[in-house]
Structure 1
Amino acid sequence: MRPEFCLDVRGDYACFTRPEMKVERVSYDFITPSAARSVFESILWKPEIRWRMERIEVLSPVRWISVRRNEVGAVVSARNVAGAMQSGKGQLGLYVEKERQQRAGLFLRDVAYRLYARMEPVKGEAMGNLAKYTEMFQRRASKGQCVNQPYLGCREFDARVRLVASPDGEPEPLTSLDGDFGWMLYDMDFTRPADPRPMFFRAQLTRGVLDLTQAEVRS
C-alpha cells in the first residue's frame, strides 16, 4: 500500500478562482484538488514522485469577503525576451503604473481544511525505494520545512500547515456542509505539454467530506 499523509491547512484568506470568471476573481466554495496537491508539493517535490489527492475535509464554515485591489494587467513579451537572449540586450521592463488595473474579488476568509494524499512513485529511485521519500516528507513536514511557501490559491494568501500524525482527536469536519457544489476544476492534463487541458469533476460533499477516490473526472 502506498503511504497516505494528512495535513491540517489553515489561512486567513483564500481564493480558488473559478475559470469561468474572465475578469473578476471569484473563488470556489472550498479548496480544489489541484490547490490541495500544490500544498503537498510545496513541502516535497521530486520528479520521481507525484501526489494523488484522496480526500478533503472542510473544517470551518464558508465565509466570504469582497476585496478590491490593484493588479498588473500585462506580462513581459515573450518575443522581447527571446530577442534579448539572442542579442544580449533589450527592453524587458514592465511599468507597473501604466499597466495597473483595479479589480474586485470575492475571496474566502478564515479557512481550514484537512487534506489527505498518497505518494506515488513515477520513475527512478522511487520505484524501488519509496521509503526514502516517505521519511523525507515526514521529516520536512514535521519541522515546517518547504520548497516554497504554501499558499491558498493566490501566492499572497499564505497557508499555515501542520502534519497530522493521527486524525484521532482532531476537529470533526463541518457536518452542516453537505450537497452538490457543481463542476469544479480537478487538475490540468499535461499529457501534451504544449496544449494542457483542464479536467473537471462533480464536487459533492457529504457532511463536510469530499471523497476524491470516487470522483468521475472529465476533460
Structure 2
Amino acid sequence: MKRFCLEVRGDYACFTRPEMKVERVSYDLITPSAARAVFEAILWKPSIRWQIRRIEVLAPVKWISVRRNEVGAVASTRNAQAAMNAGHGELALYIEDERQQRAGLFLRDVAYRLYADMEMIGDDARSNPGKYLAMFSRRAGAGQCINQPYLGCREFAARFRPVPLTETDDGDFQPGMDEPSALQEWSADLGWMLHDMDFSNPSNPTPRFFRAKVERGVLDLSRVEVRG
C-alpha cells in the first residue's frame, strides 16, 4: 500500500446531494467517491483499488446558482431490445422534445488536496507492486489520464498535479513546506455525506454514508464510521 497526493482545482464543481430530487444542489466539498474517481481517471486497473484517506480544502467555499438545459429522459431499454430483435427501430431521443430547464447550486473556484492509498488486490499487483506505483507517478507527473478527471459533473473538468509527500515520525504524511495550507479558518459539521456505493450485490448497489466533520479545512476519512 502506497499513499499518493494530488492537488485538484476547477472553475466549477457539483457533488450532488442525493436527497435533492429535481434540482442539483452540491455538497460543500468533494465527496470521497468523486475524489476516488479523479485517481481512477489517471490510473485504473482491476488489480488495484484506491482508498481516499484525507481531503484538504485549499480555497474558500463559494457558490453559484445556474439555470441550464438538460435532457429529461433516457433511451428506453425496451425499445432497444425490440430494435435488436426486429433488426430496426426508433432509438433516438429528440432534444427539442425532451429538453428541461433546471436550476443548480454549484461550487466555484474549488481547490483540494486529495490523499489516497493504492491497495494491491490482484495477484499481479501484489507480485509486482513497483510497476503500478511507477505507472501512476509517471502518468500523474506528465498530466496523462485515461479520461479527463472531472468534479462531480463531466462538464466541470479538473486540473491536477501530483504533490510530493514526506512521512512523519508518527506515520502520517505531509506535503512540502512550499505547498499551500488547508483552509484553517473553516471547521464545520456537514451532516451525512455520501461515502461511496456498495457493489457487493451488483444488481442492487446501495449507497453508504458517513458523518462529515471538517476540522481546520481537513476532512479526515481514516477514522470515519460508514453506514449503509
What TM-score, normalized to structure 1?
A: 0.98
**How many pairs were matched up?**
218
Which one of 199, 207, 210 corresponds to residue 190 of structure 1?
Answer: 199
Share of identical aligned residues, percent?
A: 68
Q: Which amino acid aligns with 1:98?
A: D
Q: Mapping of 1:129-148 within 5 angstroms? A: 129-148=128-147
For residue 173 of structure 1, what is the aligned residue in structure 2? 182
1:212 CA drift (Å): 0.3
**3-state SS in 2 of match to 1:214:** coil
- Runs of 5+ consecutive residues of structure 2 not aligned to the other structure: 166-174
For residue 212 of structure 1, what is the aligned residue in structure 2? 221
For residue 16 of structure 2, what is the aligned residue in structure 1? 17
Moved more, 157-166 or 55-64: 157-166
Mapped to 2, the partners of 1:140 and 1:116 lie a distance apart of 17
Q: Which amino acid aligns with 1:113?
A: Y
For residue 154 of structure 1, what is the aligned residue in structure 2? 153
1:102 CA drift (Å): 0.2
Moved more, 112-121 or 122-131: 122-131
Q: Mapping of 1:37-48 within 5 angstroms? A: 37-48=36-47
Deviations 1:177-202 (A, max 9, x none): 10211000000000000000000000
Moved over 6 A (4+): none
For residue 89 of structure 2, what is the aligned residue in structure 1? 90
Q: Which amino acid aligns with 1:20?
A: E
1:86 CA drift (Å): 2.9
1:82 CA drift (Å): 1.9
- Runs of 5+ consecutive residues of structure 1 not aligned to the other structure: none
Q: Mapping of 1:15-164 within 5 angstroms? A: 15-164=14-163
What TM-score, normalized to structure 2?
A: 0.94
